[in-house]
Structure 1
Amino acid sequence: MDRTRRRRLVTSALSGLITAALVVLLPRAVGATWTEVGAVIGRVSVGSLALLTFVWIAGLWAHSFVLAASLPGLTKRRGLTLSLTGSAVANVLPLGGAVGTALNFTMVRRWGFSSNSFGGFLAVTTLLNVASKLGVIALALGLVPILHSGSAFDSATLLFLPVPVFVAAGIWILADERAAVVVGGLLDKAASVIRRTRLEERLPALRQLILRLIRTGWQPMTGGMLAYLVLQLALLWLCFQVLHVPVGVPVLFTALAVERLLTLVPITPGSAGVVEVGTTAALVALGGDPAGVAAGMLLFRGFTYLMEIPVGGVMLAVWSWLGRRTGRERLEAVAG
């Protein structure tokens, strides 16, 4: 076994152990037990699960408008396929985001799109996803002094403090080409120790591509992303409602911001374990019942993380089968 493969296996094993440990220790971390959490989760009815599934699917469909607008010519159905298959891979493998991106590139190329088109699609969707998360966090940061007080306010302020800096830097780069050149040059110098990059040239070109796509598709991008975020908040709220756990919408919005923040740090596949423990701890700090909020977050992540794996896996299997069938039909046509 070569060194690279051994390193990947070790990384996968460690990542899996960390994820499992975080999830197993979740109730204890917030002062509850699995018995108490299980009793709360047992309140979910079949009808409630159907409602939650509908809201989850509606959110994914809203996000497909963003994907379709980021790659002109892409249908919303194919956008949904890209989203779920990429997420399924990212949620299973350590640093699976790169593997999911490679898979999406293969799918897009098979559908007839160019490499440059996929590059623009990837840049815009990444920017919009990060910007939406930072936007939720920035809004929560602004609402913290109004909605919360005391130690909860101090903790939230420290947690969200770097966010305005990143938001300002992103706006600066998009608004001024000179800023893209300067930032690209600084990143080139920082990365020169590891490898040679050409970000001083590439970042301004990428900026132009992003702005061109946003100019033509900003309406479906904006509408789709806002609808997606509203439906994510609705799903989170419903998860607590069906469990009969009383948590106010302002507190849940803060929890959604914490969840968005933690998903930006992919320590484990899909940030599994990290998101559940961190967001549940934040809800408990804001006055939530430990067993109730742990159950609510597990139910929410069951849809936004766990469900994406089997659903995305099935869609990937169907796409692969259709690709093989199309390939056979082409060979038969040539032979005939």
Structure 2
Amino acid sequence: MSRRTRQVVRVVLGLALAVGLLGWGFPRFAKTTWGEVLDNVQTVSWWQASGFLGLVLLGLGCYTLTFTGSLPGLSSWRAFIVNICGSSVSNLLPGGGAVGLAATYTILRSWGFKNRDVSTSAIVTGVWNTLARIALPIVAIVMLWVGNDGLPRSLTSAALAATISGLALFGAFVAILASERAAQAIGRGLDRALEPLFRRRRRTMSIDALVHDMRHRINDVVRSGWLQMTLGMVGFFGFYYLLFVLIMSSVSVFMPLGILFAAFAIGRLITAVGITPGGVGLTESATVVALVGWGADPAAAGAGVLLFSIFTHLMEVPLGALGWLAWSLSPRAKGATGEDADDEAAVRAG
């Protein structure tokens, strides 16, 4: 089977799974029916929906801090365009993160940013995003413990797994930044692990050399932008959690904030799963199971989860279309210089 055929099969299967989970599995996991869910959705007014959209825009606006902190010289407006364009593509395809990254690379290169700066930004923001999603279940555990709301075994297990994964990722990242020897060791390990992927490709730079080359640039970005990037992630997830709470309130799901945050954390963690586009189907099913398991009304919880998915997932598609239009009308930089050509070789190698 050719590579293109495998990609098509993966996309079709991912979309089919998402449709099956939403259409058939979601109401059954919620222990309700689509009719009851939609009846609850209709209780939300247009002015409430407008407020929900405003919170989405505020959350996306906060995320521009993470982008601009990872890529010096990038304006907030351009960071917003890059974010919504990349997110819209990622939300349309299973494993769309790679396509979204390619879109981000294309847009930033058209504005004159060098390949090495873009690749450094992609690595740093990827680590920050992953660590933030891993941290959410841990924060949820603390909130449930402080509120005496009980610690479900499933959430405790998820938090434990997230803690182990997060510590491993954070440890590897810190090791690359702090130790030349550790960076080389990790680079050689990645080289051996990914060797089968490159057997048919001619590489101009090994991953070992790429890690060494990028280490100093990553150090510079993290040293100068870590606080700004962290505040951006906190604002992004903070506004999205506020959106989740207000949506649940609008459909009469009133639960302790710790429990709502736990359900929110489970959903955000699963968005990282690339089986379906943006984790659609998996995210909604897991979130509604958690809410119903903690005592929420099934139909109301299903309506709240559906609305949250619409505003945080589907709404990014039309926003992305506007972003692509804004990018198409924006001025372009001149072609790559000779120095950029060397950068391209490094990016292709990685």
Residues 247, 308 of structure 2: 8 Å contact kept: yes
> Aligned-pair distance for 1:292?
1.4
Match status 1:307 vs 2:342: no
CA shift in 2, pair 1:109/1:192, >3 Å: closer
CA shift in 2, pair 1:50/1:201, >3 Å: same
> Aligned-pair distance for 1:266?
1.1
TM-score (norm 2): 0.85
Give 1:262's aligned amino acid. I
Counterpart position of 2:328: 320
CA shift in 2, pair 1:203/1:27, >3 Å: same
Counterpart position of 1:70: 70
> Aligned-pair distance for 1:142?
4.2
Residues 245, 260 of structure 2: 8 Å contact kept: yes
> Aligned-pair distance for 1:49?
0.7
Q: Of 257, 271, 279, which aligns to 2:287?
A: 279
Residues 137, 158 of structure 2: 8 Å contact kept: no
Counterpart position of 2:163: 164
Match status 1:294 vs 2:302: yes
Give 1:23's aligned amino acid. L
Match status 1:202 vs 2:210: yes
Counterpart position of 1:83: 83
CA shift in 2, pair 1:126/1:290, >3 Å: same
Residues 253, 300 of structure 2: 8 Å contact kept: yes
Segments of 5+ residues of structure 2 without an aligned counterpart are: 200-204, 335-350
Counterpart position of 2:56: 56
Residues 111, 331 of structure 2: 8 Å contact kept: no
More divergent stretch after superposition (218-227 vs 254-263):
218-227
The 5-angstrom pairing of residues 1-336 of structure 1 reads 3-25=2-24, 26-145=26-145, 147-149=148-150, 153-173=152-172, 174-175=174-175, 176-177=178-179, 178-195=181-198, 198-322=206-330
Residues 255, 296 of structure 2: 8 Å contact kept: yes
> Aligned-pair distance for 1:24?
0.9
Give 1:12's aligned amino acid. V
Give 1:279's aligned amino acid. T
> Aligned-pair distance for 1:70?
1.1
CA distance in 2 between counterparts of 1:310 and 1:64 reads 19
> Aligned-pair distance for 1:190?
3.1
Count of aligned pairs between the two proteins: 323
CA shift in 2, pair 1:207/1:167, >3 Å: farther
Write out per-residue CA displacement over residues 155-186 of structure 1, whole angstroms, 9 at most, x where no aligned residue. 11222322122222233231542443333333
More divergent stretch after superposition (114-123 vs 160-169):
160-169
CA distance in 1 between counterparts of 2:300 and 2:215 reads 45
Residues 14, 277 of structure 2: 8 Å contact kept: yes
SS at match of 1:161: helix
More divergent stretch after superposition (166-175 vs 85-94):
166-175
In percent, how many aligned pairs have the same letter? 32
CA distance in 2 between counterparts of 1:165 and 1:268 reads 25
CA distance in 2 between counterparts of 1:182 and 1:296 reads 47
CA distance in 2 between counterparts of 1:54 and 1:121 reads 27
> Aligned-pair distance for 1:199?
3.6
RMSD in angstroms over aligned alpha carbons? Answer: 2.3
CA shift in 2, pair 1:188/1:7, >3 Å: closer
Residues 137, 260 of structure 1: 8 Å contact kept: no
> Aligned-pair distance for 1:16?
1.5
Give 2:67's aligned amino acid. L
Write out per-residue CA displacement over residues 271-328 of structure 1, whole angstroms, 9 at most, x where no aligned residue. 111100111111222222221111111111111110001110222134225569x99x
CA distance in 1 between counterparts of 2:109 and 2:234 reads 29
SS at match of 2:94: coil
Residues 89, 100 of structure 1: 8 Å contact kept: yes
Residues 71, 118 of structure 1: 8 Å contact kept: yes
Give 2:45's aligned amino acid. S
> Aligned-pair distance for 1:104?
1.2
CA distance in 1 between counterparts of 2:137 and 2:64 reads 22
> Aligned-pair distance for 1:8?
3.2
CA distance in 2 between counterparts of 1:132 and 1:263 reads 12
CA distance in 2 between counterparts of 1:192 and 1:104 reads 26
Residues 144, 259 of structure 2: 8 Å contact kept: no
Write out per-residue CA displacement over residues 192-232 of structure 1, whole angstroms, 9 at most, x where no aligned residue. 34446944443354443222112112332222221112111
SS at match of 2:267: helix
CA distance in 1 between counterparts of 2:197 and 2:268 reads 30
Counterpart position of 1:330: none
CA distance in 1 between counterparts of 2:68 and 2:248 reads 32
Residues 144, 153 of structure 1: 8 Å contact kept: no
Give 2:10's aligned amino acid. T
